[in-house]
Amino acid sequence: MNDSPDFRVTFRTAVVPAAGLGTRFLPATKTVPKELLPVLDTPGIELVAGEAAQSGAQRLLIVTAPGKDRVVAHFAENLSLEEHLEAKGKTELLEKVRRAPNLLRVDSVVQDRPLGLGHAVSCAEAALGADEDALAVLLPDDIVKPHGILKAMARVRAERGGSVLCAIDVPKSQVSSYGILEVEEAPKSASLDVLRVLGVVEKPALSEAPSTLAAAGRYLLDRKIFHALRRIKPGVGGELQLTDAIALLIDEGHPVHVVVHRGTRHDLGNPGGYLRAAVDAALNSEEYGDGLGKWLRERLDLDSSDAN
């Protein structure tokens, strides 16, 4: 696969669905949108915006809900805060505050009611340009590192057409928590990291799971997804599921491939996954890494000596 900048023409808009209720994070999400909870010092929504910008997106389209305006406000300038920091000579903080508004253009659409991820994506249709034949979707709950998976997905679309998903290989014990992909058997000569998708099974029992490849929160979708979303019925939990629309496209012969992500992935959607992401970021930071690592080792030693 060549690395020419042409892959950028594959999509211009990165859609970020952020209209969910965040119930797994209550009571915090009673008033604070889950997308604004910080990983160390940076909200999850800014992390995915950074990834989208790095992947060549020109515009972030946030799907937001009534009462969650602050998610979009995070990308506006705050001139009085900037003046204050400038006057105090706090240049590092000033850079941090200016980062989000300068990443890429940010627009929003409102999903009036949380009718599911598929419905949230369908809310983006009217805001796309008539010439945009594909869109990227990034779930702000999912932190996928290192960045670059969307570029790999764009190259796959440029070569093979259709839609492209991202998957992580999960332990067998976790398959029942994810949308699991049924994939073609890879020819021996082919790269194991790009496979044709034959179907998607939502949260299967281990005995029924067609693989251990779980769909992660990055999608590069052909515009045909909107036609499919109009034809599916509410699925699990009465919600319109994005995976059902993708499954419909596959049934109709639309090419869908998956790129297997071999880096790390954190799920910010629940307190346990969120904490791992925060600890990971802190351990990698110059400011907090050493101190936190030392404290964690002491804390864990203490636990194991308690157990003895």
Query: Of 251-270, which residues contact ligand UTP (CB under 6 A)?
Result: 269
Nearest alpha carbon to residue 56 among 99, 4, 110? 4
Q: Which two tokens stand for residue 127?
A: 């805001």
User: Are 197 and 183 contacting, i.e. CB atoms less than 8 angstroms apart?
Assistant: yes
Can you tell me which of 8, 24, 98, 224 binds ligand UTP, judged by CB under 6 A? 24
Q: Taking contact as CB under 6 A, which single stretch among the options 11-19, 143-151, 170-178, 226-234 is the one that binds ligand UTP?
A: 11-19
Residue 308, classified by CB atoms within 10 Å of its CB into exposed (0-12), middle (13-18) or buried (19+), is: exposed
- Separation of alpha carbons 143 and 153, rounded Å: 16
**Segment near ligand UTP (CB under 6 A), from 133-141, 145-153, 157-165, 220-228?**
133-141
Nearest to ligand UTP of 30, 188 (CB atom): 30
- Report which of 118, 63, 111, 122 is spatially closest to residue 245, judged by C-alpha positions: 118
Nearest distance from residue 143's CB to ligand UTP, in Å? 12
**CA 133, CA 138: separation in Å to the nearest integer?**
17
Q: Judged by CB under 6 A, which stretch of 115-123, 172-180, 203-211, 250-258 contacts ligand UTP? A: 115-123
Which of 222/267 has CB closer to ligand UTP?
Answer: 267
Alpha-carbon distance 116 to 139, whole Å?
A: 13
Stretch that binds ligand UTP, among 5-13, 75-83, 112-120, 257-265 (CB under 6 A): 112-120
The binding track of 29-68 with respect to ligand UTP, each residue x by CB under 6 A or -, is ----------------------------------x-----
Beta strand 59-64 with 38-39 is unpaired
Nearest-angstrom CA–CA distance, 166 and 90: 40
Task: Choose between 82 and 202: whose C-beta lies nearer to ligand UTP.
Answer: 202
Q: Is position 17 an interface residue for ligand UTP (rule: CB under 6 A)?
A: yes
What would the two tokens of residue 20 be?
Answer: 């969910």
The DSSP code for 212 is: S
Q: Which of 116, 167, 179, 241 binds ligand UTP (CB under 6 A)?
A: 116
- Measured from each CB, the residue nearest to ligand UTP is 20
**Interface residue list for ligand UTP (CB under 6 A):** 17-24, 63, 111, 114-117, 119-120, 139-141, 269
